[in-house]
């Protein structure tokens, strides 16, 4: 650890310098995520405690595998040196190559390649550094020189003669990953792009675009058609269903959503769009009922509304539960989610079921209220009262008459309900199941009169309480 370091506020008041060579030669051809990684990594080089792989992943929302792949591409471009991959460790390099002499190549080895490559850029002279980058790329990827020249020509046709080698290499890597190795492979890919031209024209027309498609968009259309299996009518339907501004990137995101959900046809997309609109309206109604507001409903729909409807809850049932939550003081979607899950566990998923549950609850509360009054108390029914009542009736099996008799005996006690628990527990142990039997049974006495304390070993306690969730199976 160094003995001195910059404070965080000092770092915030300084600057992260980005070389103009990076802006000119690389930035126009890198993806958004790659640019973020390069610049933020450059910033971390000047920081102290924040300079960790975990911090970079968290801030930029990327995985370590993604970072490794991105920095390996940066290494190919001469931007960094990957020192280690596990864990990832990189060194940012000077773009001036001041400390890195370029690899030496024999001039006569590249005469034909140099001549052809220069002929593709008649408006400017290629620099020695550019030639060297092409040589390095051919050496590292083992790509055929003629194949690379065909890719250069394709990039010039798509981007114009000002296209730079980083963009060419990005396209070449993508094609290599697709299995392009020979001149025939390049011709096949170009034919595929050409055959897509009419389809692309229709997609761009649906997006309201007048400009032509670039290479990335052509490859994206190829992904939709070949890798994901979408037919053109489905793609055009997805375009029409986009809300707000329409762009190729938004269309790709929407098709990605459809693909993950297994939606492939135009009819399925229309049904899903109607379904999402219905879910949005339902989410708004639920939020309004329980008294909450969210500017964006996407998260609400994904986390709450869809899981609730997938459980089979009707709209009317969910709105009844929302109203039930509101009057009960539950004013959050998390709180409502707990209520929904409780109703689901009891099998109440329709409006009629919810009404039946509430009706039964009111009847039960009426019985509990009568028991409380028998003890001489005047108060409202609590959740603990309902829990005791459930134990007395369902678990211990006592009928109303016996419970009411126990309440009468408990009247006047300082703590009548705990006394009732002791009384009923003793009757359960004695096998009492009627008022007559209860009258013959003895009432609870003090601990010192009847109880002799026993000592138990740890093993004996563990054998019983280690299985406390299965008391019903212990025969107790």
Domain residue limits, the chain: 8-92, 107-194, 196-264, 270-349, 355-450
Is pLDDT at 47 greater than 80 in this prediction? no
Q: What is the mean pLDDT of residues 185-209?
A: 84
Mean pLDDT of 283-291: 94
SS3 label, residue 82: strand
Strands 88-92 and 80-85, by their bridges, are: antiparallel
Q: What is the DSSP letter of 108?
A: G
Is the pLDDT score of 370 beyond 60?
yes
Q: What is d(CA 346, CA 337) in angstroms, rounded to the nearest whole number?
A: 14
225: Cβ contacts below 8 Å, ≥ 6 apart: 196, 199, 231, 232, 235
Q: Beta-carbon neighbour count of residue 30 at 10 Å? A: 21
Q: Which of 13-27, 311-325, 329-343 has the lowest mean pLDDT?
A: 13-27
Q: Which of 420, 333, 331, 433 is nearest to 374 (CA)?
A: 420
Name the percent of the chain lying above pLDDT 70.
86
Q: For residue 316, what pLDDT is reported? A: 94
Asked if pLDDT for residue 464 goes beyond 60, the answer is: no
Q: Is 304 a residue whose pLDDT tops 60?
A: yes
pLDDT-derived band at 332 (thresholds 50, 70, 90) equals: very high
For CA atoms 132, 137, 142, 148, give the dihedral sign.
Answer: negative
Place of tokens 């761009």: 204
Residues 121-143, mean pLDDT to the nearest whole number? 89
Average confidence score pLDDT of the chain: 83
pLDDT exceeds cutoff 60 at 8: no
**pLDDT score, position 470:** 46
pLDDT for res 423: 93
Q: Which residue has the tokens 């965080």?
A: 8
What does the pLDDT average to over 343-367?
A: 89
Residue 337 has pLDDT above 90, yes or no: yes
Average of pLDDT values for 355-370? 88
> How confident is the model over 259-287, as a mean pLDDT?
91
Phi and psi at residue 218, to the nearest 5°: -65, -40
- Whether the predicted pLDDT of 449 surpasses 50: no
Predicted confidence band of residue 82 (pLDDT cuts 50, 70, 90): confident
Is the predicted pLDDT of residue 10 greater than 80, yes or no? no
């Amino acid at each position: 650890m160094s003995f001195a370091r910059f404070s965080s506020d000092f770092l915030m008041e300084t600057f992260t310098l980005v070389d103009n060579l990076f802006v000119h030669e690389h930035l126009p051809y890198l993806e958004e995520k790659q640019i973020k990684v390069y610049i933020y990594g450059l910033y971390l080089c000047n920081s102290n405690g924040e300079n960790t792989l975990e911090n970079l992943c968290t801030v930029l929302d990327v995985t370590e595998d993604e970072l490794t792949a991105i920095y390996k591409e940066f290494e190919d471009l001469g931007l960094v040196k990957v020192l280690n991959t596990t864990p990832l460790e990189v060194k940012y390099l000077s773009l001036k190559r001041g400390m890195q002499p370029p690899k030496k190549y024999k001039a006569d080895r590249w005469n034909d390649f140099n001549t052809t490559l220069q002929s593709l850029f008649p408006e400017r002279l290629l620099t020695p550094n550019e030639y060297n980058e092409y040589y390095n790329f051919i050496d590292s990827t083992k790509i055929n020189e003629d194949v690379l020249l065909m890719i250069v020509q394709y990039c010039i046709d798509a981007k114009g003669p000002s296209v730079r080698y980083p963009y060419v290499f990005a396209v070449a890597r993508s094609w290599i990953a697709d299995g392009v190795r020979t001149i025939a492979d390049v011709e096949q890919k170009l034919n595929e792009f050409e055959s897509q031209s009419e389809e692309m024209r229709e997609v761009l027309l649906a997006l309201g675009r007048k400009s032509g498609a670039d290479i990335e968009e052509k490859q994206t259309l190829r992904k939709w058609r070949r890798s994901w299996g979408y037919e053109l009518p489905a793609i055009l339907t997805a375009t029409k269903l986009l809300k707000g501004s329409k762009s190729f990137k938004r269309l790709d995101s929407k098709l990605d959503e459809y693909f993950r959900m297994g939606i492939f046809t135009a009819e399925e997309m229309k049904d899903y769009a109607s379904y999402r609109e219905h879910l949005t309206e339902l989410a708004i109604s639920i939020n309004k009922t329980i008294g909450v507001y969210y500017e964006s409903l996407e998260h609400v729909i994904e986390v709450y509304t869809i899981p609730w409807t997938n459980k089979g809850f009707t709209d009317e049932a969910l709105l009844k539960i929302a109203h039930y939550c509101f009057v009960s003081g539950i004013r959050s979607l998390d709180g409502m989610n707990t209520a929904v899950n409780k109703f689901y566990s009891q099998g109440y998923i329709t409006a009629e079921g919810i009404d039946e549950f509430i009706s039964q609850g009111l009847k039960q509360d009426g019985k509990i209220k009568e028991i409380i009054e028998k003890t001489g108390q005047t108060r409202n029914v609590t959740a603990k009262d309902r829990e005791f009542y459930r134990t007395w009736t369902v678990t211990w099996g006592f009928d109303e008459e016996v419970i009411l008799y126990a309440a009468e005996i408990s009247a006047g006690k300082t703590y009548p309900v705990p006394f009732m628990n002791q009384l009923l527990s003793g009757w359960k142990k004695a096998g009492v199941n009627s008022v007559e039997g209860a009258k013959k049974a003895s009432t609870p006495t003090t601990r010192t009169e009847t109880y002799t304390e026993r000592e138990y070993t740890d093993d004996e306690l563990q054998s019983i309480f280690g299985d406390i969730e299965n008391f019903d199976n212990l025969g107790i």
